[in-house]
Amino acid sequence: MKQGVHPADVDAIRRGGLPGDARLAALSTLARTLIEKRGRLAESDQGRFLEAGFSSEQILEVIAVVAASTITNYTGSVTRPALETPFEGFAWDKPAS
């Protein structure tokens, strides 16, 4: 839990679920919705995020993180770099779609 996210919450997100914490669940839902809707958020999507205690500026931060993650994931999928030793314990064998 070094970065403030409980390992059980990370596992839940990896399985397509939501973290137990309501704020983290709202954050995860917004990020997933951005990806699924290709950035076309409805007012209700934004409203749920704001109701969880986030600001409208933080929506832009989530967009920036999703964009950076997308570029990183695409690059990794194409180049298939070796996983560095300190991160081997966090390897994620997600099935290819």
How is the chain split into domains, by residue range?
Answer: 7-90
Instruction: Give the CATH number of domain 7-90; options: 1.20.1290.10, 1.10.287.70, 1.20.1250.20, 1.10.486.10.
Output: 1.20.1290.10
| Mean pLDDT value of segment 65-75 | 95
Average pLDDT, the chain: 90
CA 81 to chain centre: 21
Token digits for 37? 């809707």
* Mean of pLDDT values over 42-56: 97
Mean pLDDT of all residues in 1-30: 88
For residue 37, give every residue at least 6 positions away whose Cβ sits within 8 Å of its Cβ, in sequence order, or none.
Answer: 45
Per-residue b/e over 4-22, b at no fewer than 16 CB within 10 Å?
A: eeeeebeebbeeeebbeee
Rounded Cα–Cα distance for residues 83 and 91 (Å): 8
Distance CA 8, CA 20 (A): 8
At residue 1, the pLDDT reads 47
Work out the pLDDT band at 94, boundaries 50, 70, 90: low
